[in-house]
Amino acid sequence: MKLLPLMIAIPLSVAFILPLLPKKRPRMADCLAVLATLALLALAAMLIGQSGVYALGGWRPPVGIVLVLDGLSWLVLITVALVSFLVTVFSARYMEQYTARGRYYALFMLMVAGMNGAVLTGDMFNLYVFIEVAAVASYALVAFGCHEEELEASFKYAVLGSIASSFILLGIALMYCLFGTVNMAHLGQKVSASGLNRAAIFSLVLFIAGFGLKAALVPFHAWLPDAHPSAPAPISAMLSGVLIKAIGVYALIRVLFNVFGVTAQVATALMVLGTISMVVAILMALIQWDLKRLLAYSSISQIGYVMLGFGVGGAVLAAGGSPVIAALGFLGALFHLVNHAVFKSLLFLSSGALEYATGTRQLKEMGGLGKEMPVTAGASLVASLAIGGVPPLNGFFSKLIIILACVSSGHYGFALAAVLVSIFTLAVYMKVQKYAFLGKPAEGRKSVHEVPAAMRIPMTLLAVLCLGMSLMLLPGPKKRVLDPAVQVLMDRDAYIQSVMGVASALGAGQETDMKIAEN
Amino acid sequence: MKETSTIVKTISRCVVGFIFLYGLYIVCYGHLTPGGGFTGGVILASAFVLEMLAWGKEEALKSLPFRLAKPFDSAGALAFLVLGLLGLLLGGDFFVNVIQKAYPGKPFSLFNAGIIPLCNIAIAIKVCASLFLVILVLSVLRVAAGGGTEDDLTTQEEE
Cβ-contact A329, A309 below 8 angstroms: yes
Per the prediction, chain A carries an average pLDDT of 88
What is the domain partition of chain A in residue ranges? 289-473
Are A19 and B70 an interchain contact pair (Cβ–Cβ within 8 Å)? Answer: yes
Q: What is the pLDDT of residue A516?
A: 41
Cβ-contact A134, A115 below 8 angstroms: yes
- Print the SS3 string covering A37-69: HHHHHHHHHHCCCCCEEEEHHHCCCCCCCEEEE
Are A5 and B81 an interchain contact pair (Cβ–Cβ within 8 Å)? Answer: no
Mutation pick from B67, B74, B140 vs chain A, by most beta carbons of A within 10 Å, is B74
Cβ-contact A509, A516 below 8 angstroms: no
CA B146 to chain A, closest CA, distance in angstroms equals: 6
Question: What contacts A307, CB < 8 A, 6 or more positions away?
Answer: A215, A217, A249, A270, A271, A273, A274, A277, A333
Give residue-wise pLDDT tens across range A309-339.
Answer: 999 999 999 888 888 999 999 999 999 999 9
Q: Give the 3-state secondary structure of residue B7.
A: helix
Q: What is the pLDDT of residue B1?
A: 54
What is the domain partition of chain B in residue ranges? 6-158
Helix (H) and strand (E) counts for chain B?
A: 7, 0
Question: What contacts A392, CB < 8 A, 6 or more positions away?
Answer: A467, A470
Are A58 and B96 an interchain contact pair (Cβ–Cβ within 8 Å)? Answer: yes
A window 44-63, beta carbon within 8 A of B: 54-58
Give residue-wise pLDDT tens across range A366-388.
Answer: 878 888 888 999 999 999 999 98
Q: What is the pLDDT of residue A511?
A: 44
**Is the ipTM, as predicted for this complex, more than 0.90?**
no
Q: How far is CA A409 from the centre of its chain?
A: 27
Nearest CA in chain A to B92: A2
Cβ-contact A284, A423 below 8 angstroms: no
- Residue type (1 letter), B91: G
Q: What is the pLDDT of residue B35?
A: 84
Give residue-wise pLDDT tens across range B88-126.
Answer: 888 778 888 777 777 777 777 777 778 888 889 999 999
Tell which residue, B142, B147, B143, B127, has the closest CA to residue B42.
B127
Q: In chain A, what's the furthest Cα-to-Cα distance?
A: 86
Give residue-wise pLDDT tens across range A494-509.
Answer: 888 888 887 777 665 4
Please tell me which of the candidates B77, B78, B145 has its beta carbon nearest to residue A148: B145
Task: Let me know how long chain B is.
Answer: 159
Q: What is the C-alpha end-to-end distance of chain A, expressed in Å?
A: 33
Give residue-wise pLDDT tens across range A397-414.
Answer: 999 999 999 999 989 999
